[in-house]
Amino acid sequence: MKKKTIGLLFGGMSTEHEVSLQSAKNIMEAIDKSKYDVLLIGIDKSGKWHLNDASHFLLNEENPKLIALNKTNNGIAIIPGETENQLFNINSSKTLGELDVIFPILHGTLGEDGSVQGMLRMANIPYVGSNVLGSAISMDKDIAKKLLNAASLNVAKSLTYTRVTKGKIKFDEVERELGLPLFIKPANQGSSVGVSKVNTKEEFFNGIEDAFRYDHKILIEEAIKGREIECSILGNDNPRASIPGEILPTGDFYSYEAKYIDETGAILDIPAKISKQVTEEIQHTALKAFSTLNCEGMARVDVFLTEKEEIIINEINTLPGFTKISMYSKLWEISGIPYNKLIEELIELAIERYERDLLLKSSFDN
């Protein structure tokens, strides 16, 4: 069987650039080289695309704090509308041949928010993960909450503010509405970037300023007292849920550092110590959230489980981390899908959706 060519797209301009590099490293190490040829496409922090060599595409790759993209002189441009030669080497003036699938392991802004998904669709390249709509609405915590609430799924109570309404934020009013402690979050960031847990008035206004550093819209959200449970979803039209796992942070909350840098920042308890009934309820909730937000391919659904066993959705990540301490892949491994097989299934799901979309009639058909 002919080997498929996979474009691994990583790095990017978001605050999660380094996380993406770690994910790319893990995927490159695990992917079945007998089935796939991998084209490494690194995006630097300024947005330039680089064609990388597998032997040296990362610097300081063993240090999460210092890991960096090895920039090259081989810049890449994308050619929309082509069917066989979608990528072009700027320096050699040669096309890179046909790509079977792009795996955009880009976390956060301009990678997980529908931007790159729209570009790849215009370039006629199959890609792993949710489509443009599912990516965009899942990334926006404000919009996602409204849709989940409309689907009768529980979400934490929150207030939304933009730069235009920033001057109307009053600590006393927010405290009466949401209580203390509370969380302040950018609406369109992932991995706890820009998130603050607030207990005092001073922390409140510092948290607002910090959140507005990352987005034009922020959420102020009630703190839910409950266990942090995560569930991985895999599939397109008929998705399935992994067994849930529990996050046990060793700090105040599950921060960016705890997720990707400090290996002692949290304990991952898989499977979560919950009853069969609660397990099934969390899986059902996660699958319903996945379909409500029009997700495809993969997502990780994070929920809180209260003392009364009420399930409250925290957020949905459509391109969750693939680092060695990532929950998404660990949950599937314990559920019976090893890491290399998980990568393979995600690639096949991308091809399945692409072939399904080809059956749609366009406005130019006779």
* Whether the predicted pLDDT of 90 surpasses 70: yes
- Class for the domain spanning 137-154+225-356: alpha beta
* Whether the predicted pLDDT of 238 surpasses 60: yes
pLDDT of residue 252: 62
Phi-psi bin for 124: left (phi > 0), alpha (psi -120 to 50), beta? left
Phi, then psi, of 102 in degrees rounded to 5: -100, 130
Q: How many Cβ atoms sit within 10 Å of the Cβ of residue 151?
A: 12
Report DSSP letters for 135-188, one per residue: HHHHH-HHHHHHHHHHTT--B--EEEEETTTGGG--HHHHHHHH-SSEEEEETT
Residue type, 176: R
pLDDT of residue 253: 54
Report domain extents, the chain.
4-127, 137-154+225-356, 158-222
Q: Which strand (E) or helix (H) includes residue 240? A: strand 240-241
* Whether the predicted pLDDT of 254 surpasses 60: no
Residue pLDDT, tens place only, 299-319: 999 999 999 999 999 999 999
The band of 123, judged by pLDDT with boundaries at 50, 70 and 90, is: confident
How confident is the model over 66-86, as a mean pLDDT?
81
* Whether the predicted pLDDT of 50 surpasses 70: yes
Residue pLDDT, tens place only, 94-109: 777 778 999 999 988 8
pLDDT of residue 226: 95
Judge whether 4-127 and 137-154+225-356 match in fold: no
Distance CA 294, CA 96 (A): 32
pLDDT of residue 114: 95
pLDDT of residue 98: 79
Could you tell me the two tokens for 267?
A: 């304990």
pLDDT of residue 73: 83
Residue type, 71: K
Q: How many Cβ atoms sit within 10 Å of the Cβ of residue 105?
A: 27
- Class for the domain spanning 158-222: alpha beta
Closest by alpha carbon to 76, among 92, 63, 87, 61? 87
| Fold of the 4-127 domain | Rossmann fold (3.40.50)
Mean pLDDT over each residue of the chain, to the nearest integer: 90
